[in-house]
């Protein structure tokens, strides 16, 4: 798989995370904890049913989900996923349905499988962000939510200059400093509802999308049309006034 899209190849990502897996929790995991916890808190406060975490990594978020949620995690790296499996077993996390090795650009789930789909610190290091976004959209149920937590690059200014200077760090497999937000605005069925800066230093954003529910919208329009055309008929009580 080439790097023609400006991101890392799948094989490079696997190799990078094989090296990072033993120390991820004590390094990059600490740096991104605030963003991870913000996303989980959002899900815990507003969602129910089945949750898919794409790029679950070592499973740092797994103990923090509400225990009535049914959580599935996937990751491209078997080394990172092994750490997540150890965490589930050690902490007896019975709300975790499954942990699977899977490519986020080709998800092995039926359409509309999950009420919530979340990808944290994933989009900048996948080989094909467009394909991943379309898969997140596909497996999310109509009316459900797709959440992203990610670094999105600045258009200019001091931060933009710094990000360009940090471009060589892309080879670590953890960081792609040049990644504009429009790279994830590719799905017609996903409507952006919320955008929040998260720590550290507002370097990351939480984006919340809702998947359009065409059946619900059609029913709402039908009800509105029926209400608008229905003739006014006074009730018995009104007629006796």
**Which residue did the predictor score with more confidence, 237 or 86?**
86
pLDDT in tens, 40-99: 999 999 888 999 999 999 999 999 999 999 999 999 999 999 999 999 999 999 999 999
Residue 34 belongs to what domain range? 10-239
CB-based contact 73:60 (threshold 8 Å): no
**Residue-level pLDDT at 154:** 64
Task: Name the 3-class secondary structure at 191.
Answer: strand
Residue 16, in any domain of the structure: yes
Only one residue has tokens 């794409």, namely 54
pTM over 0.95: no
**Residue-level pLDDT at 19:** 74
pLDDT in tens, 150-176: 988 766 544 454 445 444 444 444 555
Nearest partner of 146 among 197, 85, 104, judged by Cα: 104
**CA gap 209, 207 in Å, rounded:** 7
Task: Name the strand (E) or helix (H) holding 184.
Answer: none
pLDDT in tens, 90-136: 999 999 999 999 999 999 999 999 999 999 999 988 889 999 999 99
Residue 2, in any domain of the structure: no
Tokens of 125: 């290091």
Nearest partner of 139 among 54, 63, 225, judged by Cα: 54
Residue 14, in any domain of the structure: yes
Residue 78, in any domain of the structure: yes
Q: What is the mean pLDDT of the chain?
A: 81
Residue 1, in any domain of the structure: no
Q: What is the CATH number of the domain that holds 14?
A: 3.40.50.150
Domain count within the chain: 1
Residue 4, in any domain of the structure: no
CB-based contact 179:151 (threshold 8 Å): yes
22 pLDDT above the threshold of 90: no
**CA gap 239, 79 in Å, rounded:** 75
Q: How far is CA 210 from CA 6, 50, 85, 199, in A?
A: 28, 15, 30, 23
Residue 5, in any domain of the structure: no
Number of H helices, E strands in the chain: 8, 7
CB atoms within 10 A of CB 211: 23
Residue % of the chain over a pLDDT of 70: 73
């Amino acid at each position: 798989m080439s790097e023609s899209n400006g991101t890392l190849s799948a094989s490079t990502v696997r190799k990078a995370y094989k090296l990072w897996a033993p120390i991820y929790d004590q390094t990059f995991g600490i740096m991104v904890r605030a963003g991870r916890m913000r996303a989980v808190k959002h899900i815990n406060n507003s969602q129910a049913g089945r949750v898919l975490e794409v790029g679950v990594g070592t499973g740092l978020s797994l103990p923090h989900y509400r225990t009535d949620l049914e959580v599935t995690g996937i990751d491209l790296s078997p080394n990172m996923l092994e750490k997540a499996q150890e965490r589930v077993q050690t902490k007896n996390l019975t709300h975790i349905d499954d942990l699977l090795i899977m490519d986020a650009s080709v998800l092995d789930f039926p359409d509309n499988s999950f009420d919530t789909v979340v990808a944290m610190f994933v989009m900048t290091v996948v080989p094909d962000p467009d394909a991943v976004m379309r898969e997140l959209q596909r497996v999310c149920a109509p009316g459900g939510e797709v959440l992203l937590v990610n670094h999105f690059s600045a258009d200019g200014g001091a931060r933009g200059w710094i990000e360009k200077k940090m471009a060589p760090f892309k080879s670590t497999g953890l960081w792609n400093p040049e990644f504009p937000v429009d790279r994830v605005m590719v799905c017609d069925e996903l409507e952006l509802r919320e955008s929040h800066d998260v720590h550290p230093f507002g370097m990351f954003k939480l984006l919340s999308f809702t998947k359009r529910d065409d059946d619900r919208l059609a029913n709402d329009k039908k009800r509105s049309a029926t209400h608008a055309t229905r003739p006014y008929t006074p009730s018995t009580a009104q007629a006796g006034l």
